[in-house]
A and B are shown apart, each in its own frame.
Chain A
């Protein structure tokens, strides 16, 4: 169905704007004039100050939010409804509390009508892969935050999505767990040709993980401020790469851009 000569972008946003009606009757602009094309297979990190609308951006790409302005194309096709190529890893816990780890991980396969026996076998493999072997029958509340996050990773990856949307997935974890999870994410992703949109407010995390970093301005009416290629060699170790001089040079360069926005968000946003 792809009529274009060159391969279409995995995700392409064009002139997207998002506004919400406020309780006071006014209009609150969250995003404006967002144009961004993400080629397939690229790990793209999106950084911006807290509260700048990064999550809204991801919800637009996920199809959970229809922007009133602009167009969204996924592999060249206009996006209608939820994005069926994408899996979403949420910032907070989104596991179904009434399902066990196994039940949660296999959910995506069950919903697609895959026979139970097959789904269970596949889910067990994924549970093993994310290091939760032996915890299949636990309910989410019986797991630690890190383990719940692993279960969520398995839940979203088991359906073999071509696009991964991640909204500050590791921000609630302690530094040690977080670095482990980041390394494991890179291992899983490496060579998978999956396109990743990774939201974070942590510039170090963005550079350590991504091929490209996009800086978003402070809200309201946030938009894309800059886009930087990260040429660091792979495979990477997120803990060690922070000592790389190239990493530091990049950090300084992007931070110059980001600093202004972080300051603005501190001054403007009362919360």
Chain B
């Protein structure tokens, strides 16, 4: 999942201008992509169609399973009336804060433990224990500590994001090529310059490959926290719908969350492709 950041030891010589063969290969790849996308849409249409048909035929009880048309109407109603936007805004804000705080703490802790052998040895059992803990059961505690507002949701998200970023940073720093380390040391880099020019960029590849997971978890933390106790956010909307047996509302909330995660993921893909363009095979 996150271990794909290792560099190829000796990438084959690349000619400065792209040869014909490669250009054709890419064209072929694109043609294949069109097929994949149409099949993906096909799967969606088939799934939704069967669901709708079974619900219409009475095989699936709409009370428990709702039906796609009702869910779509629900979503549309939320958006048209403007009801959903403040809730979505709150959830995104919580996720963003959890993501930022978790990432910064994870990077700092990863750095510290990777560079200081004693710290790593001392904290190793605690980190393992805490990471093994199902974080969701912390939600009630956080609500007691931080109240029903956004702070408790951010805290939950942070506990999820932190470990992903921490482990990836730790690994990234440990895997720095000793040749590169010695080279920059010989160019008379001081400790801070070593961090800035060697350790951080090297760990960056690992941190980035973990972003997809951690941004998803940041949102999970927010939504689960809201679901358990709050007055705003997508999780609250889902909990409310559940309370009045509004199955369409529950599904609409789930779908909205998935779509948001998907969009953020696409954005990260682009950012990653730009920032990690130095890696072999990145083009």
Contact = CB atoms under 8 A, between A and B. Distances in A.
Nearest to A147: B13
Interface residues of B, number: 29
A111 interface: yes
B21 to A, nearest CB: 17
B135 interface: no
Nearest to B280: A141
A37 B216 CA distance: 61
Nearest to A146: B13
B179 interface: yes
B235 to A, nearest CB: 39
Among B14, B177, B188, B202, the most chain A Cβ lie within 10 Å of the Cβ of B188
Given A64-B185, A96-B197, A139 B179 contact: no
Dominant secondary structure of chain A at its interface with chain B: loop
Nearest to B201: A98
Given A111-B189, A138-B16, A98 B183 contact: no
A178 to B, nearest CB: 15
Given A88-B182, A94-B180, A144 B198 contact: no
Contacts of B186: 62, 64, 82-83, 86-88, 156
Contact of B184 (A84, A96, A97, A139): A96
A139 to B, nearest CB: 4
A108 B16 contact: no
B2 to A, nearest CB: 18
Interface residues of A, number: 36
A135 interface: yes
Nearest to B275: A98
Contact of B14 (A84, A100, A108, A141): A141
B14 A143 contact: yes
A180 interface: no
A153 interface: no
B16 A139 contact: no
B13 A96 contact: no
Interface in B154-199: 177, 179-180, 182-190, 193, 197-198
4 A-B pairs with the lowest CB-CB distances in the bound complex, closest first: A144-B13, A94-B183, A141-B280, A88-B186
Contacts of B188: 82, 84, 108, 111-112, 159
Contacts of B182: 59, 62, 64, 88, 90, 94
Contact of A139 (B10, B183, B277): B277
A99 interface: yes
